[in-house]
């Protein structure tokens, strides 16, 4: 493990961790400051949203988590996901790779997932103690590295670009983009510009979607907008709603997949 400063980040590198989010939480509880970043070559128990596992390939992906300490209202915290998605989208553009944002936390290329974002918060009463922002990107995976059950849903930057990607270069782009997007949210400046970037790169706006929230019956509607706090605005037959949690699918029309 090594620690170093880069772009105001304090970076800790590990060969293997069960989860970068778990390690970042441990460091936060021990007093680590904002912009502490944990990165590893391999995750043995990587996590995604809704308790799902995150599959990665040792030495081929980019797996990291950042400790953030924003002074935001609870209802504003989802703006961090919005900012992170825009940051990843912009960093990939810096590499010459176009992508889209699938609400709320996935980056997709050609309809397949290439990156995911996981945010976990620690609160005390109505105060936010810290936020752990985890990002996983499929960078240099070959087709055989992707599990059979995910081959029609996942892709890597290498498979898209037909070239090996320099992970250090990508990380540098990401840290710059995350810093600028996060500070816009933290300081409540340039939010309209950030939201505009999210909307322009959204894969859902104007599309028919299936929405699943908890154990409720899946509902079909049309995604029409993104709210300032990262909500997906959906027009259902019964009216327009702002969706702040749940799963959204654009695959199939007879059920949620």
Quote the pLDDT of residue 62.
97
Residue 256 in any domain: the answer is no
Quote the pLDDT of residue 2.
42
CA distances from 134 to 52, 87, 120 (A): 14, 13, 8
Residue 59 in any domain: the answer is yes
Are residues 242 and 126 part of one domain?
A: no
Quote the pLDDT of residue 123.
84
Quote the pLDDT of residue 4.
41
Distance, in Å, from the CA atom of 131 to the CA atom of 118, rounded to the nearest integer, reads 10
Are residues 189 and 118 part of one domain?
A: yes
Closest among 211, 202, 253, 199 to 236, alpha carbons compared: 211
The CATH number of the domain where 89 resides is what? 3.30.930.10
- Average the pLDDT over 172-201 and give the result: 94
Instruction: Find the domain containing 53 and state its range.
Output: 2-200
Are residues 86 and 173 part of one domain?
A: yes
Residue 185 in any domain: the answer is yes
The CATH number of the domain where 241 resides is what? 2.30.30.100
The answer, yes or no, to whether residue 210 has pLDDT greater than 80, is yes
Count of domains in the chain?
A: 2
Are residues 234 and 130 part of one domain?
A: no
Are residues 245 and 164 part of one domain?
A: no
Quote the pLDDT of residue 74.
86
CA distances from 153 to 137, 143, 196 (A): 14, 12, 27
The fraction of the chain above a pLDDT of 90, given in percent, is 75
Distance, in Å, from the CA atom of 118 to the CA atom of 26, rounded to the nearest integer, reads 16
């Amino acid at each position: 493990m090594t620690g170093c400063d880069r772009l105001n980040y304090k970076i800790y590198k590990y060969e293997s961790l069960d989860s970068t989010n778990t390690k970042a939480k441990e460091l936060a509880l021990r007093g680590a400051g904002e912009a502490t970043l944990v990165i590893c070559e391999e995750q043995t128990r990587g996590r995604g949203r809704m308790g799902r596992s995150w599959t990665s390939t040792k030495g081929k992906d980019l797996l990291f988590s950042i400790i953030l300490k924003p002074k935001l209202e609870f209802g504003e915290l989802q703006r961090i996901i919005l900012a992170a998605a825009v940051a990843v989208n912009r960093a990939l553009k810096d590499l010459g790779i176009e992508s889209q944002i699938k609400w709320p936390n996935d980056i997709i290329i050609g309809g397949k997932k290439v990156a995911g974002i996981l945010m976990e918060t620690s609160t005390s009463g109505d105060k936010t103690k810290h936020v752990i922002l985890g990002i996983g990107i499929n960078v240099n995976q070959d087709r055989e590295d992707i599990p059979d059950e995910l081959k029609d849903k996942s892709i890597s930057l290498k498979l898209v670009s037909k070239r090996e990607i320099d992970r250090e270069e990508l990380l540098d782009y990401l840290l710059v983009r995350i810093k600028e997007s996060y500070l816009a949210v933290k300081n409540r400046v340039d939010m309209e510009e950030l939201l505009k970037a999210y909307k322009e790169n959204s894969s859902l706006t104007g599309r028919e979607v299936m929405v699943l929230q908890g154990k409720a019956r899946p509902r079909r509607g049309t995604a029409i907008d993104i709210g300032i706090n990262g909500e997906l605005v959906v027009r259902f037959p019964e009216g327009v709603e702002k969706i702040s949690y749940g799963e959204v699918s654009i695959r199939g029309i007879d059920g949620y997949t």
